[in-house]
Amino acid sequence: MNRKTKFLFIAATFVSVLLVAPVANADPLQIVTQSGGFHLTGLGNNGNGTPNNEFDVFIGDAHSESNTVDSAGGRFIALINPLTFIQDFTGVGSEGTYPLNFSELLTVNGQTQTLNLIGSLTIGTFSDSISLLTNSRIIWQFNTFTVSATVLPVTIFGADNGAYHDFLCARFEVKPNCDTTVPEPATMVLLGTGLAGLAAKVRQRRKAKISV
C-alpha cells in the first residue's frame, strides 16, 4: 500500500471515528450585567419655569445580576434598574410634555459603556407620567463572543401624589465570534464514504498496473 493510499484510509478512519465519538460540550457563558443607577430631581415645572427638587423625582437604583447562556449564544432579558417615580404637584400652568435625556453606566463582564436614555415627562392636570424609550443598541466585543443590548420601553403613570414603581429592562443577545457549528451526521457520512471509495479506487488502479 503506497503513501497516498495509506493517507486516504487514515482520513476515512478518522471520519468514521468522528461519527461515533460523542460531541464535547463547551462551557456555558456567564453574562454579568451591572448598572450605575441615576437620580433625577426637579423635573417638574411650577408654572413659572423654575424647577423644584421636590417635584416629579425619577430614580433608577443600581442593579447587578447574572445570566447564563449556551456557548453557541442566546438571548435573555435582564433588569437594568428598579424605577421609582415620585409624582407631586408641579404648579398651575405647568401642563405639557417635556423631553428627557440622560445617561448611566452599564457594565457587562467587566466592560463598561454609557447607556444613553431618551424619554419624556408628561404633566397633566391631575396626573403625571414619565416614559423611557431608546432605539440605540450597545455592543460589547470580547475575545470569543459579542454581547448586544436593546432597552425595552417603559412608562410609569402617577395618578396621585406619591411614589410609583416599575422596572427598566433590556434584551441582551450573545453571539460567538467564531463558527462553532458541528457538521451534520449526513454530511460526515458522505465525506467518509467518498474518502473510502477514493481509496478503494486507488488500490484497484494500483493492482491493475501490477498485473500488467
Question: Does residue 128 lie in a domain region?
Answer: yes
pLDDT given at position 21: 44
Question: Does residue 86 lie in a domain region?
Answer: yes
Question: Does residue 131 lie in a domain region?
Answer: yes
Band of residue 165 on the pLDDT scale cut at 50, 70, 90:
very high
Average pLDDT over residues 124-129: 86
Question: Does residue 89 lie in a domain region?
Answer: yes
Q: What torsion, rounded to 10 degrees, do the Cα atoms 85, 123, 153, 41 define?
A: -40
Against a cut of 0.75, is the pTM above it?
A: no
Question: Does residue 42 lie in a domain region?
Answer: yes
Please choose, from the candidates 10, 9, 31, the residue with its C-alpha nearest in 3D space to the C-alpha of residue 172. Answer: 31
Q: Please state, in angstroms and rounded to a whole number, the distance separating the CA atoms of residues 13 and 110.
A: 45
Domain range spanning residue 106? Answer: 29-176
pLDDT given at position 22: 44
Question: Is the pLDDT at 19 greater than 60, yes or no?
Answer: no
